[in-house]
Each structure stands twice: as structure tokens, then as C-alpha cells.
Amino acid sequence: MSKMGSLIYYGHSAFEINSDGKKILIDPWITNPKSVTKPEKFKDVDLIVLTHGHDDHIGDTLEIMKNNPKSKVVAIFELANYIAEKLNDEHRAIGGNMGGPIIVDNIKIALVPANHSSEGYGAPTGAVIITKEGTIYHAGDTGITSEMQLIGEIYKPDIALLPIGGHFTMDHNEAAKAVEMIKPKVAIPMHYGTFPVLYGDPEEFRKIVISRGLNTNVVILKPGDKYEFNF
């Protein structure tokens, strides 16, 4: 039987990916209002990937890293430096920039453009995580951007984790256009419903993707739900 990778959604933009024998957290704001778990529950974390420096994305990174002394963080250079300073350990923060993948313990992570802000912490990014079981694109916080077509062409993500909330990011309509450009096998909406201002609707997102005849399966996860994959 072939090995499966998995991802777990924790609400807002927080995910756990288990693939290639590694446990990777992305934007782990585990104390968000929709969360069903707590930061102290996380054990054996290998990597934390941060897309940008806003508090709802750095989230509980420092607490989780203190509880998981072997874990490392991957982020844009300035944000990685900030985490290293807070931990007082430069060896646990891997700073890179947008471009070819950063290779950490055989996992490839490409930081890619995001159309957003990230005051004081370098540029905002998305992240493409390339593993044996599949390639996952976490768009971070972003508006619709033409670079998504390049991300689709170069990295061919199997799974796209896309913000749909509106106000600070794409809404469901713009995210459906992003699906059209990226052409993933699976799209999972995120960054909606955490606060009233994030009005994007996952069912509307699914309807628009279907109405456009796109060959992408929209998977809507509730906080705590797991999705298994092997592409």
C-alpha cells in the first residue's frame, strides 16, 4: 500500500502537513477563535513555515518552537531573523527569499509572491511545499495576482490552500479565478469566517469553481478535519 500524506486544518490559515515523514505547520495561529485545539498539544514538529509577519499568521510559533526544541522555522529573511532573535537561537531559523526552493531536511519549500503587507518583517509570501506525496501551495494572505499563473506552471501544485475571506485577501469570486490560473487538483478554502469582516463563503467558492468547468475538486474542511493525499 502506498504511503499517504495528510493535512489538518486548524481554522483561519493554520495547517499541519504530515508528509515525507515530517510534521510541518503553516501559519500556526492555533489560538484563533475557530480552533479546536491548543498550542501545547503539538509534539514532534519538524518545521514551521510562516508566510508573513502579521500576528494572525505568526500566531503561536514561538510557544510551539519552545515546546518542540528540534523544530525549525522557514520564512522570508527578515521574519526568520525576528524569530531567531526571539528564540535567541539563529540555528533554528532558516531565512530565504522568493525564488528557487529552500531545501531543509529533504523538504523543498519555495517562497512565492503574495499581494499583501507585512510591516517590518520583509515581503509577504506564499509557500509551495514539495514532498514525495504531493505539492501543496499555501497562498498566505493575498489578493488575486497574475503570478499565480506562473506558480501553477512552474510548481504544478496538487493542492492549493487559498484565502477566500475578502477585506484583507481574495474573496470567493477572486479565489475561483486563482483556481483557474493555478489549476490544482484540489483547492481548500481558508482565511474566512474567523471574524465577521471575513465574509467569503466556501460554498459560493465551490459553486463558482464548478460553474467555470474547472477540473479542481473543492474540499471544504472544518477546523480539526483531516485530508489525506498521495499524488
- Confirm whether 2 is domain-assigned: no
231 domain residue, yes or no: no
Contact 94, 114 (CB under 8 A): no
Q: What's the pLDDT at 106?
A: 87
Sheet architecture: strand order including 72-76: 93-96, 72-76, 47-49, 22-26, 15-19, 5-9, 226-229
Q: Assess if residue 1 is contained within a domain.
A: no
d(CA 118, CA 54): 6
What is the rounded (10 degree) CA torsion for 170, 182, 7, 44? -90
Is the residue at 228 inside a domain?
no
Give the global pTM: 0.97
DSSP at 91: G
Q: CB-based contacts of 129: which residues, under 8 Å, 6+ apart?
A: 17, 19, 24, 26, 49, 107, 108, 109, 135, 136, 137, 138
Q: Is residue 51 part of a domain?
A: yes
Q: Which domain holds residue 136?
A: 7-222
Q: Give domain status of residue 15, yes or no.
A: yes
Domain total in the chain = 1
CA distance 33 to 40: 16
Q: What is the CATH number of the domain that holds 46?
A: 3.60.15.10
Q: Evaluate whether residue 80 is within a structural domain.
A: yes
Q: Would 33 be classed as within a structural domain?
A: yes
DSSP states of 98-149: BSSPEEETTEEEEEEE-SS--TTSS--EEEEEE-SS-EEEE--S----THHH
Enumerate residues 6+ apart whose C-beta is below 8 A from 205. 164, 172, 175, 176, 187, 189, 218
Contact 24, 185 (CB under 8 A): no
Mind listing the pLDDT tens digit of every residue in the chain (231 residues)?
568 999 999 999 999 999 999 999 999 999 999 999 999 999 999 999 999 999 999 999 999 999 999 999 999 999 999 999 999 999 999 999 999 999 998 899 999 999 999 878 999 999 999 999 999 999 999 999 999 999 999 999 999 999 999 999 999 999 999 999 999 999 999 999 999 999 999 999 999 999 999 999 999 999 999 999 999
